[in-house]
Amino acid sequence: MIDCLIRQPAAASAWNARPAGVLALLLLLALLTGCASTPRLADTTEDRLPRQLLLDEVPFHAQRYYQCGPASLAMVLNDAGVDVEVDTLIPQVFLPGREGSVQPEMLATVRRHGRIPFVIDGHLDGLLLELDEGHPVVVMQNLSLPAWPMWHYAVAIGFDLDRNELILHSGEEPRRVESFRRFDATWARSDRWAFVALPPGELPAGVRPHRAMEAISDFESLQGAETALPAWESLAKRFTDNGLVHFGLGNARYTTGDASGALTAFERAVSAEPGLAVAWLNLGLARRGQGDAAGAREALEEAAALHGHWQPHARQALETLEEG
């Protein structure tokens, strides 16, 4: 998807040649938006949120032509403590041939600047809860029709529940106010795609373990295990009973040289999910590395008894242990 196709009358004659068509499009857009219903928040969300909220310290960068992607990134990265200019981000995220920025480049650019992009659940409750946590949210909208998209990135920075309004840094307009109804209609056309950019160790309000693991793993592959370790630690504290989360933490600890911490994480992984063969396998290998042959054998036998992809690896590790 590309962004920021802000229709500007660069060629006045072309626009003047079809005023009826332009007027019809505008009327149709107004009709479609008018027909959309105001999204209803869950009662638990209403009870948790303040009636009004504004993240007034989020900086504003005015969009230049086709460059709302870099501008939106600069806003959330600056807010997350990254000192970067829009001009620096343009060549990293802007695709001239596409006249915009696509989502993978947006997320990859956040990672390059040492922050983790977490794609959030696509509903208004989730977006407002992130704002309540102090997280500005990059949102993707289609300001036109599905057949003639005008993709646009903006940054949500606040809301007013009494007036059913969202506040955004958008285009050339800081603190733009849009009704929930109008915003949700344009956001829905992008499948309600949105993300927050957070320092390692800070998690989204509505984090889901598997989605968070994907985000942290992608970040780790670029920035390394040591930089990603605080994110794994925070995720394991949030989801104490999730074996895969502790498995990911164990791998990160082991990569950074914390063999003892890795053992603890792998032990918690198999305790939480006894059927997680890969965690038993890594626990056995870690114990073997620590010189605990009996403990390694116990863990590897557990892994070898579980059918699946890791069973032959566990059997081979057992054979190596016995031979050694």
Structure token pair of residue 222: 């670029």
Q: CA 228, 255, 207 angle in degrees (round to 5)?
A: 30
Q: Decide if domain 12-198 falls under CATH 3.90.70.10.
A: yes
Structure token pair of residue 43: 């009662």
Output the pLDDT for position 218. Answer: 98
Report the candidate in 182, 172, 179, 108 with the shortest Cα–Cα distance to residue 142. Answer: 182
**Domains of the chain by residue range:** 12-198, 225-323
Whether 2 shows a pLDDT value over 80: the answer reads no
Residues 180 and 38: beta-carbon distance below 8 Å = yes
Whether 29 shows a pLDDT value over 90: the answer reads no
12-198 and 225-323 in the same fold = no
Q: Model confidence over 285-311: pLDDT tens digits?
A: 999 999 999 999 999 999 999 999 999
Residues 128 and 204: beta-carbon distance below 8 Å = no
Query: Which fold would CATH assign to domain 225-323?
Result: 1.25.40
65 phi/psi in degrees, rounded to 5: -55, 125
Whether 120 shows a pLDDT value over 60: the answer reads yes
How confident is residue 110, by pLDDT bands cut at 50, 70 and 90? very high
Distance, CA of 303 to CA of 287 (rounded, Å): 14
Whether 224 shows a pLDDT value over 60: the answer reads yes
| pTM over cut 0.85 | yes
Whether 13 shows a pLDDT value over 70: the answer reads no
Output the pLDDT for position 23. Answer: 40
Percent of the chain with pLDDT over 90: 79
